[in-house]
Amino acid sequence: MELLSKYDTFLAAHLHKHANKGSGNVNFLSSTVCNELINLLGRKVLSAIVAEVRRAKYYSISVDSTPDVSHTDQLCLTIRYVLPEGPVKRFLTFVPLLNHTGKEIADVVRDFLQTNKIPISDCRGQSYDNASNMSGKYRGIQAHLKSHCEFAEFVPCMAHSLNLIGTCAAECCTAAVTLFGIVQRLYVYLMKSTYRWRKHRDAPKHMPIINCLSDTRWSARADAVEALANGFQQNITVLDDLAMDEHPPPPPPPPPPPPPP
């Protein structure tokens, strides 16, 4: 609510007037009311997007899943269509996944489209990663959806395809395998300790932060290597400091005893 109030003078005035009132005053700022407002706004936005899709008629879809903080796999459903102003891409919803088979994911997508009265027969494209449950020729989601709409052409994700090609090409070069291995081990070494990561982050200004190598985006490897190369000397300094912290030099030997009188 505070974030929205920065862009809404009426809401900002309401918060300023009622947010700090004591108990016994109705301010409609409880978590229950705020969640209800968020749900209402979400349904309103979704209905507007669905109305746009119906006017555009033809569309393409893209889905992917990732676990949330509660370790529940959430399926992200996005849709692309063309308006007179040009093509647009909209996020539609998150759907909890209990099964990761191509049929299960296809059923989830079809149920959502049917619930919102978006005809599957108007789907003209679908794009996913190269996992077998997504792009499988016979049991992937693309095959199941194409059985309901033969015009829903499947286009594999270019970023994932490029990553597979780049990974296979790099594995043929021992020097490249060694380089990426060092970059990843350096990132893990710094990230596994809050002290080491803070030391790296608080290093000299404008030093690039080392990134993790992505399993799906080849460009992330370029970003990681570039960050290491551009801040090479600063990283050497940080590692030297950490080495001194973790393995301090031995104390100097005690002075010799004074000679006897």
pLDDT digits (tens, 9 = 90+) for 105-141: 999 999 999 999 999 999 999 998 888 888 888 888 9
What confidence tens digit (pLDDT) does each residue in 60-73 have?
999 988 888 887 88
Average pLDDT, the chain: 84
Question: pTM, whole model, 2 decimals?
Answer: 0.63
In this prediction, residue 261 carries a pLDDT of 66
In this prediction, residue 232 carries a pLDDT of 86
In this prediction, residue 5 carries a pLDDT of 80
Lowest average pLDDT, out of 29-43, 143-157, 203-217, goes to 203-217
Task: Write the CA distances from 126 to 20, 139, 167, integer angstroms.
Answer: 50, 15, 25
Q: Please name the residues in contact with 103: beta carbons below 8 A apart, sequence gap of 6 or more.
A: 139, 141, 144
C-beta atoms surrounding 99 within 10 Å: 12
What confidence tens digit (pLDDT) does each residue in 157-214 have?
887 888 888 888 888 888 888 988 999 998 888 888 888 888 877 776 667 788 888 7
Average pLDDT (15-30) is 66
In this prediction, residue 24 carries a pLDDT of 56
Contacts 24+ apart (CB under 8 A), 113-118: 116/46, 116/50, 117/50, 117/54, 118/50, 118/53, 118/54, 118/59
Residue 29: is its pLDDT beyond 90? no
In this prediction, residue 107 carries a pLDDT of 92
Sign of the CA dihedral with 225 first, then 226, 232, and 234 last:
negative
Average pLDDT (8-31) is 71
In this prediction, residue 205 carries a pLDDT of 64
Helices and strands of the chain, counted as H and E runs? 11, 5
Residue 23: is its pLDDT beyond 80? no
Whole-number percent of the chain with pLDDT over 70: 91
Contact 11, 4 (CB under 8 A): yes
Q: What SS3 state is found at 17? A: helix
In this prediction, residue 153 carries a pLDDT of 92
- Rounded to whole angstroms, how far apart are CA atoms 77 and 95? 8
Residue 21: which pLDDT band, with cuts at 50, 70 and 90? low
The DSSP bridge partners found for residue 79 are: 61, 90
